[in-house]
Structure 1
Amino acid sequence: MHTTLGGGARTHVRDARIVQPDLELVAVPRDESFKIWSHGYPYRTVRWHFHPEYEIQLITSTTGKYFVGDYIGNFAPGNLVMVGSNLPHNWVSNLSQGDHVNERCLILQFDTGFVARAIEAFPEFKRVELLLDASRWGVLFTPETGGAAEPIMHEMLSAKGMRRLTLFLALFDLLVQSVAPVKLASAAYCADPARYAESRINHVLSYIGKNLSQALRESELAELVGQSVSAFSRYFRRHTGVPFVQYVNRLRINLACQLLMSGELNITDICYQVGFNNLSNFNRQFLSLKGMSPSRWRAYQQLNAASATESAEAAHVSQASG
Structure 2
Amino acid sequence: MQPDLELIQKVQYQSFRVWSHGYPHQVARWHYHPEYELHYLRETRGKMFVGDYIGDCGPGNLVFTGPNIPHNWVSELAPGVSVAERDLVLQFGAEFVQDCMALFPEFGQVQNLLSEARLGVQFGKEAEARAHETMSAMLSASDTRRVILFLDLLDYLSHAPRVRLASPSYDPSIDQRRNAVINQVLAYILENYTADLREADVAELARMAGAAFSRFFRKNTGLTFVQYINHLRLNRACELLMNSELSVTDICYRVGFNNVSHFNHQFLQKKQMSPSKFRACHLTQGSCGSSQSAAQ
Do the aligned partners of residues 112 and 94 (structure 1) sit closer, same or farther apart at CA in structure 2, a change above 3 Å counting?
A: same
Structure 2 residue ranges without an equivalent (≥5): 201-209, 240-248, 278-296
2:67 aligns with 85
Q: What is the aligned-residue identity percentage?
A: 44
Q: Paired residue for 1:191, among 138, 152, 172?
A: 172
State the match for 1:6 in structure 2.
none
Give the structure 1 partner of residue 206 of structure 2: none
**1: CA distance between counterparts of 2:254 and 2:92?**
33
Partner of 2:137: 155
> Equivalents in 1 of 2:19, 2:133: separation in Å?
14
Partner of 2:47: 65
TM-score normalised by L of structure 1 = 0.65
2:235 maps to 1:251 = no
Task: Report the 3-state secondary structure (helix = DSSP H, G, I; strand = E; otherwise coil) of the residue aligned with 2:38.
Answer: strand
Query: What residue number does 1:214 align with?
Result: 198
User: What does residue 30 of structure 2 align with?
Assistant: 48
| Gapped regions of structure 1 (runs ≥ 5) | 1-18, 227-231, 259-266, 294-322
5 Å matches for 1:1-322? 19-179=1-161, 181-192=162-173, 193-194=175-176, 197=179, 209=189, 213-214=197-198, 225=215, 239=222, 247-253=228-234, 274=256, 278-282=259-263, 285=266, 291=275
Distance in 1, Cα, partners of 2:213 & 2:117: 38
Cα distance, 1:214 vs structure 2: 3.4
In the alignment, is the contact (CA less than 8 A) between 2:65 and 2:121 conserved in 1? yes
* Contact in 2 for aligned 1:213/1:272 (Cα 8 Å): no
Partner of 2:205: none
Number of aligned residue pairs: give it.
Answer: 248
- Aligned equivalents of 1:277, 1:30: Cα separation in 2: 22
The C-alpha deviation readout for 1:215-250, integer Å capped at 9, x for no partner, is 79xxx9799549xxxxx9xx999x46xx98654422
Q: Take 2:159 and 2:67, find their aligned partners in 1: how far apart are those partners?
A: 22
Secondary structure in 2 aligned to 1:188? coil
Q: Aligned pair in 2 of structure 1 residues 283, 170: CA closer, same or farther (>3 Å)? A: same
- Contact 1:20–1:196 (CA under 8 A) maintained in structure 2: no
Is this contact kept in 2: 1:23–1:51, CA < 8 A? yes
Give the aligned CA root-mean-square deviation in angstroms: 3.9
Q: Amino acid of the residue matched to residue 100 of structure 2?
A: A
Q: Check 1:117–1:195 CA distance in 2 against 1; reply closer, same or farther (3 A cut).
A: closer
Indicate conservation of the 8 Å contact 1:256/1:271, yes or no: no
Equivalent AA in structure 1 for residue 55 of structure 2: G
Q: Deviation of residue 198 (structure 1)?
A: 10
Residues 66/255 of structure 1: CA separation in 2 closer, same or farther (3 Å cut): same
Shift of 1:281: 1.8
What amino acid does structure 2 have at the position aligned with 1:65? K
Deviation of residue 170 (structure 1)?
1.7
- CA deviation string 1:116-162 (max 9, x = no partner): 11122222211100000010000111122112211111001111121
Q: Structure 2: how far apart are the matches of 1:149 and 1:125?
A: 19
CA offsets 1:60-101 (integer angstroms, 9 cap, x no match): 111111111111111111111110011111111111111111
Task: Kindly state the Cα deviation for residue 251 of structure 1 after the two structures are TM-superposed.
Answer: 2.8
Report which of the two structures shows the higher radius of gyration computed on alpha carbons: 1
CA distance in structure 1 between the aligned counterparts of 2:93 and 2:228, rounded to whole angstroms: 23
Query: Higher mean Cα deviation, 112-121 or 57-66?
Result: 112-121
